[in-house]
């Protein structure tokens, strides 16, 4: 999930991480729905489901390509922080504009890794 979260902004050419800022995971939730097997090709989907002043909720789906089955669902609450103080700060409007919220519904994920 962390790799998908890191790669998502890399897919948006306009994204620039403001200097001395970063994202910290506050909470993870993972639901395992079915097993994956050695050799399975897995597609990871991620999107922003909700955003507040200093936090964003990112959701994930892991889909087995052979049968299209969702085998894992997850979510992470990310907090935007000032790296010099370690304190939460408001997410800049420019960043929020680059990541439109995707309504909370299964199988309508935006952005695959």
Where along the chain do its domains lie? Answer: 2-98
Q: How far is CA 57 from CA 4, 21, 27, 43, in A?
A: 14, 18, 9, 20
The candidate with the shortest Cα–Cα distance to 79, out of 67, 70, 87, is: 87
Q: Taking 60 as the threshold, does the pLDDT of residue 106 lie above it?
A: no
Q: Region 12-25: what's the mean pLDDT?
A: 94
pLDDT tens for each residue of 78-89: 999 999 999 999
Is the CB of residue 25 less than 8 Å from the CB of residue 6?
A: no
Residue written as token pair 């103080």: 85
pLDDT band at 105 (very low <50, low <70, confident <90, very high): low
Cite the DSSP H helix spans in 11-112: 93-98
Diameter of the chain measured on Cα atoms: 47
What's the pTM value of the predicted model, to 2 decimals?
0.84
Topology of domain 2-98 in CATH is Thiol Ester Dehydrase; Chain A (3.10.129)
Q: Please check the confidence at residue 74 and state whether its pLDDT lies above 80.
A: yes
Distance of CA 7 to the CA centre of its chain: 9
């Amino acid at each position: 999930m962390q790799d998908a979260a890191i790669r998502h902004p890399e897919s948006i050419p306009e994204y620039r991480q403001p200097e001395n800022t970063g994202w910290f995971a506050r909470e993870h939730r993972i639901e395992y729905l079915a097993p994956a097997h050695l050799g399975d090709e897995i597609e990871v989907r991620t999107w922003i489901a909700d955003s507040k002043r200093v936090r964003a909720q990112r959701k994930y789906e892991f889909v087995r390509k052979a049968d299209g089955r969702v085998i894992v669902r997850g979510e992470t609450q990310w907090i935007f922080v000032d790296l010099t103080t370690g304190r939460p700060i408001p997410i800049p409007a420019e960043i929020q504009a680059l990541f439109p919220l995707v309504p909370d519904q299964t199988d309508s994920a935006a952005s695959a890794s």
